[in-house]
Amino acid sequence: MTKNKKILIVTECFYPEEFKINDVAISWKDKGYAIDVLTLTPTYPLGKVFPGYKNGFFRKDEYQGINIFRVHAVTGYRNSVIKKILKYINFMIFGSIAAIFIGRKYDYVFGFNMSALTGMLPAVLIRKLYKKPTMFWVQDVWPDSVYAYGFKKTKILSTALDIFVRFMYRNIDSIAVSGKGFESKLTPYIEKELTFHYLPNWADDLDDNLAPATLGKAKGVTHFTFAGNIGKLQNLENIISAFSLLLSEYQEKSQLNIIGDGSNLDNLKLLASNSSNIVFHGKKLRSDIVSYYKASDFLIVSLIDKPIFSVTVPSKTQTYIAAKKPILAIINGDTADIIKNNNLGLYANPSNIEEITNIFNQCIEMGPSERDYFIKKNDFLLDTVFNKEKTIDRLLKVLIKKEKKMDF
């Protein structure tokens, strides 16, 4: 019987913040499990407390029958590296304190490792104290991502991170990864046998009934669209620079649309200030973005050229596949392989501005039949590799497989 089984989900972000873990929690609850969530006061991505919420040290609320335990969140981190670090440390500390008090009553603990591994310490603490089966679904690879964000790899930092990462991964029972390349990165930190389960993010549900958005330029213009977080890692500087190098005849027949918000937005607006065909549309609700996809001809997925991002597949990749539009992969590694191997679009080296400009040129010159060639495999991929229901069910099966007594 599942009705008596209780699962605690540990995650830095949860509803009303828009992440895949919201769907996981609702699905498991609908299957009869009692779901609680340990998370922060909602502040992502602007670093401000959402309207209607109070930033207390420990508060409880509810969402669709799911109990949510919220701890205090650091705010103002959007443009501050120090505050971002404090944000991670804050959840590690206050989340762990909360975990001590609430952790005993659960049958399973599921950690949604969306960013810093520090956010998973409350889950590991429950396992250590109360012997609860614990699983991570890893979306980011530590310690590699720490250095990718610009921190210098000193001996002291490297040693401290290695000890911490090894401790964390030696104290879980199951692991799922969103990228195939994660396993090679994480294996050195795992001594015991731990099976890696490749469970990628799925495509967002898109409302086909929404009418296309009005993007600005007249009919006959090729629209390129990027949607998502706007930070340094998204490589939009190179994309804007490359787009600005288009010949005037192509400039008149194209528009670059940037949808979203983030720490690098103001810098990008300044960079694009002399380009009338680069338009910033601001942050949109996930439910509304599909109308912008419908109005677009090509969708852009991009990250800076760092080794760690060669194993990262941004979740927008799957959503773009669901939108059934050709994809421009301005990114190296696993994401580029998905696009190229399945003929989903075009690829350019994220560090090569001239190459990026050239693929913009190619796209502008394409006719409808050439564009349709890039969406032939979308339905197959959505029904198999990137299927929402199948992925959520597999996550649950991995979590609950060890109901027998474990050797801790």
Q: Are 63 and 95 in contact (CB under 8 A)?
A: no
d(CA 204, CA 177): 18
Q: What is the pLDDT along the chain (408 residues), one digit of tens a residue?
A: 455 799 999 999 999 998 999 999 999 999 999 999 999 999 988 889 999 999 989 999 999 999 999 999 999 987 788 998 999 999 999 999 999 999 999 999 999 998 899 999 999 999 999 999 999 999 988 888 787 777 788 889 889 999 999 999 999 999 999 988 888 889 989 877 788 999 999 987 777 777 777 777 667 899 999 998 898 889 999 999 999 999 888 888 999 999 998 888 999 999 999 888 999 999 888 778 889 999 999 999 999 998 888 888 888 899 999 999 999 999 999 999 999 999 999 999 999 999 999 999 999 999 888 888 899 888 888 888 889 999 999 999 999 984 343 333
**Gyration radius of the chain over CA positions:** 22
20-63 pLDDT, tens digit each: 999 999 999 999 999 999 999 999 888 899 999 999 899 999 99
Q: What is the pLDDT of residue 30?
A: 95
Calculate the alpha carbon distances from 126 to 38, 120, 251 in Å: 12, 10, 57
What are the extents of the domains in the chain? 6-202+387-400, 222-383
Strands lying side by side in the sheet with 108-113: 58-63, 66-71, 34-40, 6-10, 108-113, 134-138, 174-177, 196-198
Residue 75 one-letter amino acid? T
Q: Are 57 and 94 in contact (CB under 8 A)?
A: yes
d(CA 238, CA 222): 19
Which residue in 135, 10, 131, 123 sits closest to 68, CA to CA? 10
d(CA 2, CA 44): 33
Assign domain 222-383 to its CATH superfamily.
Glycogen Phosphorylase B; (3.40.50.2000)
279-328 pLDDT, tens digit each: 999 988 877 888 999 999 999 999 999 888 888 888 889 999 999 999 99
DSSP assignment of 140-167, as one string?
Answer: S-TTHHHHHTT----HHHHHHHHHHHHH
Q: What is the pLDDT of residue 403?
A: 35
d(CA 79, CA 82): 9
| Architecture of the domain delimited by 6-202+387-400 | 3-Layer(aba) Sandwich (3.40)
Q: What is the pLDDT of residue 408?
A: 34
Q: What is the pLDDT of residue 404?
A: 40
Q: What is the pLDDT of residue 2?
A: 54
Domains 6-202+387-400 and 222-383 share a fold: yes
Which residue in 81, 206, 212 sits closest to 150, CA to CA? 81
Q: What is the pLDDT of residue 110?
A: 98
Neighbours of 348 (CB within 10 A): 25
Q: What is the pLDDT of residue 407?
A: 39
